[in-house]
Structure 1
Amino acid sequence: MAEDFKGIVDRYGRPIAKAALKVEQAAPTGSGVRRHDALHPAAGLTPGRLGGILRASIDNDPESYLALAEDMEERDPHYAGVLGVRKRQVSGLDITVEAAGEDAASVEHADLVREVIERDGFEDELFDIQDAVGKGFSCTEIVWDTSAGQWRPKRLAWRDPRWFVFDQIDGETPLLRDAGQNVPLNPYQWIYHSAKVKSGLPIRGGIARAVAWTFLFKSFTIKDWAIFCEAYGQPLRLGKYDAGASEKDKQILLEAVSNIGVDYAAIVPASMAVEFIKADISGSHGLYKERADWLDQQTSKVVLGQTATTDAIAGGHAVGKTHDGVREDIEKADARQLAASLNRDLARPLVDLNHGPQKKYPRILIGRPEQIDITALVNNVAKLVPLGLKVGMSTMRDRIGIPDPADDEELLGAPKEPPPVDPPAGPVPARPKPGETEQTVHSTAGTSTRDAIERAAADMLADWMPLVSPIAAGLGDEIAIASSVEDVKALLAKRFEGLNVDALTEMLARSAFAARLAGEADETL
């Protein structure tokens, strides 16, 4: 473990304070600003109030805006659904660690980072870090554990974004609200993630800012829709009484009609009647649903970049497949930004605190695995390495998805080839013929293993080459420059004109005759 922190500074050039890292800087308190009290600015929200909340967030008072962003996720099921899909889609992607080099130290540093990201609950911690997608930024405190003599994250604690403001000069440096003061975040103790949904200041970069207006208008639409359904969606209960009914009779009838709507039971005198008139709604009652659906579609466009996979529209499946490409672009951008924040605020501090400052650090990569043809990759490497191509073993393991073996793990290896067997000295003994013993055969076996047929074939080849050599000489070059099959046929015909057919025929006849005699005589020598 790197006990000496001299020379270690964060990205702002601030030195590391060892003692400060062992204490939670932003733990919740019962008093002060770091309380989990509930603010609900969405209640009674009007266009004027919303405009004021958004302006105040730019003027370094973002608390109401951040509370509104939380309210929106709780009150609008559609916004909560699509935002959750976007955050879970990235936090659930494959995470790999790429070593800075092939040396032992680089591999050890990469293994250290892998150990941390493979902890149980790390995926949920990434989901919390992705809170920046909605609100524009997130601050996650690293709670360090040094009990085993090493620096390891015990957990990554999500902190309420309402506890933070930004530096008034640059508008980008996060500060912690603490007892009426705004203090800098301790170096190597925070993962600060700014989601670049749009260019601009972090407080203006979240999706919640754009969705706030659709949320406001949709809340008006849903409220009007509810009033309309309450007033016109129920059947009318009409009570009738005779002209001579007393006031007491009228009161009894009114109570009976009222109770029918609550208790679904009532009694009236025989002289009275209760009639139910069906609520046939006419007019523009469908406007409420159409407006709410249209506002949901705008929210889907902002969050996911499309509507086909979330909203029921014409063209369903085909349009959805087309729009999946847009979602893939957003996914890649979110994954790239998240990996950059983790490399800066998690991987580097982890290596520095345990091994000291390095020139190069391992890199965390987040994304879907590339479709790699493993067979082609291995074959190409096997062919190119003997030609001088240098390929790192760690790189190859990462590409084909095989982890580094443990020190005490049994390793696979190429099968050992059996030692070559020397051929037996002398001729191969022949089989005994009928009527002969094995001893007789051995006594007559010579030093040659070729029989008469093999010797005849060798003699024939020796005589054959002088006959065909004049024909084959230069034939390949002439065929190479031929322009058509007909040219090749003419070329071969011309070559065969010079072949001595009589000599070839005589040679074949002699060879056949010699082979026949050898066969009749059972000649083996």
Structure 2
Amino acid sequence: MADMFKGIVDRYGRPIEKAALKVEQAAPTSTGVRRHDALHPAAGLTPDRLAQVLRASIDGDPENYLALAEDMEERDPHYAGVLGVRKRQVSGLDITVEAAGDDAVSVAAADLVREIIERDGFEDELFDILDAVGKGFSCTEIIWDTSEGQWRPKRLAWRDPRWFVFDQVDGETPLLRNGGLNEPLVPYHWIYHSAKVKSGLPIRGGIARAVAWTFLFKSFTVKDWAIFCEAYGQPLRLGKYDAGASEKDKKTLLEAVSDIGVDYAAIVPTSMIVDFVKADISGSHALYKERADWLDQQVSKVVLGQTGTTDAIAGGYAVGKTHDGVREDIEKGDARQIAATLNRDLTRPAVDLNFGPQKKYPRIRIGRPEQVDIKALVENVVSLVPLGLKVGMSTMRDRIGLPDPEKDEELLVAPKVSAPIAAPADPELKLRKPGERPPALSAIGVENRDAIERAADDMLADWKPLVSPVVAGLEAEIAAASSVEDVKALLAQRFAGLDAAALTELLARSAFAARLAGEVDETL
């Protein structure tokens, strides 16, 4: 095992240290910088103060900005809601693992990665990694378990982003704060995810930075709205006293009127009067709600890419059904980014620590399964295969979602179709009496035909004696006719000799026989 570790380096080219992987590098402490104490820069936030916080985050001190981002999620229900939807929608997508090849090591490596992502709690850990969507980055420590001689992630521990800073030279390399020193992250011990919400430095790439100003303006609006409702939303309590009332009486009346607004109970002398004046609000008091709603819509656009599923707008249901929470392109972008991070910081370390360095590694893919129009696919295959298109059975099963059958499994097969009945060798059918069976049909298997088919044979044989006098020589007479009127007269003369009664009786018998055969379900 020790020799296998020699050739392993992280993405920065740093060799790994086996002993360092077994110790938590960023475990919280009761003293120092890694404490769970709370900072609340959102309290009393002003435009000047917000500008200072944002500038300091770029200049190398992001602690207050990251604390503000946390505060915003706790203080603004709308922002917390839409940000949670975006993270949960991605963390709840289907996760698949593709092996790097068909050899034994590649298959075993893919099975190892599947084992890791199928652990209980992995979806919640993925949600924590997606904390980068709001704050721009997230650092998750891998707690390795080597109790059975194999390297397995015991858990993926979210670490407070306030415990990290970025290298002052490139502005992108994360460093762990440790008193006055900043430590590089131990190789193969961290999942560092930088969410590309916008281009630029990681500390400037989170949604919280864009929402911060909207959060500030909305806090002012909600505060003014609360003051307005407090001042004008309740009826005025007006106390009246006599001209000869003493200061003690006035004080008593004032306390009573105040208590009515708090305790809804008070006592006053009979000589005093308390009136309630209804608050008739006029003016643009709806401005507060409209402004707060407009600001919420801007947050929805930034976080979800749409407002149809979060705000009460005309046509919102139809729009919401189209967008389904998070706009499709945003969902795909988040899924692609988080999959790339997991392949780099989780898949490769797990494979290297257990199998040694590989030329190719399994790949984690996150996203919705491809929607296939099965009906159209099958119709196209049925139409194109007779024209020479070659389609593999295994490929078709995968496309329509059916597994390969087991070795001894009973298989579905197409129903057997009986062979078509050949035409009689002699094209001329002998004239026969009604009900007489042609011997030629008996020889070619007419006994296997059903009752309706036999009735059709009988009718075709019986009508020939009836119509033969009508059609005999008719073709030559029509050819000799000189006009359409002559043809009409010729046909009328011919049909005048047709035995219509016999033909009608024949049709009636055939229809009755077919109806009777259908009623009794005769097949022979």
Shift in Å, 1:258? 2.3
After the TM superposition, list the runs of 4 or more consecutive aligned residues in structure 1 that deviate by more than 4 angstroms.
Answer: 322-326, 373-381, 387-393, 395-405, 410-415, 452-457
1:399 to 1:106, Cα distance in 2 relative to 1, 3 A:
farther
Kindly tell me the number of residue pairs found equivalent between the two proteins: 415
Residues 176-199 of structure 1 deviation map (CA, whole Å, 9 limit, x = unaligned) = 112321111111111110000000
Corresponding residue for 2:216?
Answer: 216
Shift in Å, 1:377? 8.1
Shift in Å, 1:259? 2.3
Amino acid of the structure 1 residue aligned with 2:129: I
C-alpha distance in structure 2 between counterparts of 1:301 and 1:281, whole Å = 33
C-alpha distance in structure 2 between counterparts of 1:371 and 1:268, whole Å = 75
Judge conservation of contact 2:99–2:110 (CA < 8 Å) in 1. yes
Corresponding residue for 1:313?
Answer: 313
Amino acid of the structure 2 residue aligned with 1:43: A
C-alpha distance in structure 1 between counterparts of 2:409 and 2:177, whole Å = 60
Q: Percent identity?
A: 83
C-alpha distance in structure 2 between counterparts of 1:141 and 1:171, whole Å = 21
Residues 139-193 of structure 1 deviation map (CA, whole Å, 9 limit, x = unaligned) = 1011000101110000000001111111111111111112321111111111110
1:14 to 1:404, Cα distance in 2 relative to 1, 3 A:
farther
Corresponding residue for 1:234?
Answer: 234
Corresponding residue for 1:506?
Answer: none
C-alpha distance in structure 2 between counterparts of 1:103 and 1:109, whole Å = 10
Corresponding residue for 2:35?
Answer: 35
Residues 57-76 of structure 1 deviation map (CA, whole Å, 9 limit, x = unaligned) = 11111111001100100111
> Alignment partner of 2:165: what SS?
strand
C-alpha distance in structure 2 between counterparts of 1:456 and 1:161, whole Å = 91
Shift in Å, 1:240? 1.6
> Alignment partner of 1:217: what SS?
helix
Corresponding residue for 1:471?
Answer: none
Judge conservation of contact 1:339–1:366 (CA < 8 Å) in 2. yes
Shift in Å, 1:292? 0.9
Amino acid of the structure 1 residue aligned with 2:370: E
Judge conservation of contact 2:142–2:155 (CA < 8 Å) in 1. yes
Corresponding residue for 1:13?
Answer: 13
Q: How does 1:21-420 map to 2 (within 5 A)?
A: 21-324=21-324, 327-372=327-372, 412=408
Q: How does 1:481-500 map to 2 (within 5 A)?
A: none
TM-score by length of 2: 0.73
Judge conservation of contact 1:167–1:174 (CA < 8 Å) in 2. yes
C-alpha distance in structure 2 between counterparts of 1:305 and 1:294, whole Å = 15
> Alignment partner of 1:182: what SS?
strand
C-alpha distance in structure 2 between counterparts of 1:165 and 1:401, whole Å = 47
Amino acid of the structure 2 residue aligned with 1:354: N
Amino acid of the structure 2 residue aligned with 1:160: D
Amino acid of the structure 2 residue aligned with 1:69: A
Judge conservation of contact 2:5–2:356 (CA < 8 Å) in 1. yes
Amino acid of the structure 2 residue aligned with 1:177: R
Corresponding residue for 1:476?
Answer: none
Gaps of 5+ in 1: 418-451, 458-525
> Alignment partner of 1:162: what SS?
helix
C-alpha distance in structure 2 between counterparts of 1:82 and 1:276, whole Å = 43
1:134 to 1:455, Cα distance in 2 relative to 1, 3 A:
closer
Q: In angstroms, what is the RMSD of aligned CA positions?
A: 3.1
Shift in Å, 1:210? 0.3
Shift in Å, 1:306? 1.0
1:111 to 1:392, Cα distance in 2 relative to 1, 3 A:
farther
1:357 to 1:305, Cα distance in 2 relative to 1, 3 A:
same
> Alignment partner of 1:274: what SS?
strand
Corresponding residue for 2:500?
Answer: none
> Alignment partner of 1:4: what SS?
helix
Judge conservation of contact 2:195–2:206 (CA < 8 Å) in 1. yes
C-alpha distance in structure 1 between counterparts of 2:190 and 2:379, whole Å = 41
Judge conservation of contact 1:102–1:392 (CA < 8 Å) in 2. no
Amino acid of the structure 1 residue aligned with 2:259: N
C-alpha distance in structure 2 between counterparts of 1:456 and 1:188, whole Å = 84
C-alpha distance in structure 1 between counterparts of 2:212 and 2:191, whole Å = 27
Judge conservation of contact 2:8–2:15 (CA < 8 Å) in 1. yes
Residues 225-281 of structure 1 deviation map (CA, whole Å, 9 limit, x = unaligned) = 111111221211111222333334333322322222233222333332111101111
> Alignment partner of 1:73: what SS?
helix
Amino acid of the structure 2 residue aligned with 1:193: H
1:245 to 1:355, Cα distance in 2 relative to 1, 3 A:
same
Judge conservation of contact 1:2–1:354 (CA < 8 Å) in 2. no
Judge conservation of contact 2:86–2:326 (CA < 8 Å) in 1. no
Shift in Å, 1:300? 0.7
C-alpha distance in structure 2 between counterparts of 1:279 and 1:309, whole Å = 36
C-alpha distance in structure 2 between counterparts of 1:229 and 1:19, whole Å = 62
C-alpha distance in structure 2 between counterparts of 1:10 and 1:234, whole Å = 65
1:286 to 1:6, Cα distance in 2 relative to 1, 3 A:
same
Judge conservation of contact 2:25–2:186 (CA < 8 Å) in 1. yes
Judge conservation of contact 1:100–1:361 (CA < 8 Å) in 2. yes
Judge conservation of contact 1:2–1:353 (CA < 8 Å) in 2. no
Judge conservation of contact 1:238–1:257 (CA < 8 Å) in 2. yes
1:454 to 1:244, Cα distance in 2 relative to 1, 3 A:
closer
Judge conservation of contact 2:309–2:325 (CA < 8 Å) in 1. no
Judge conservation of contact 2:78–2:296 (CA < 8 Å) in 1. yes
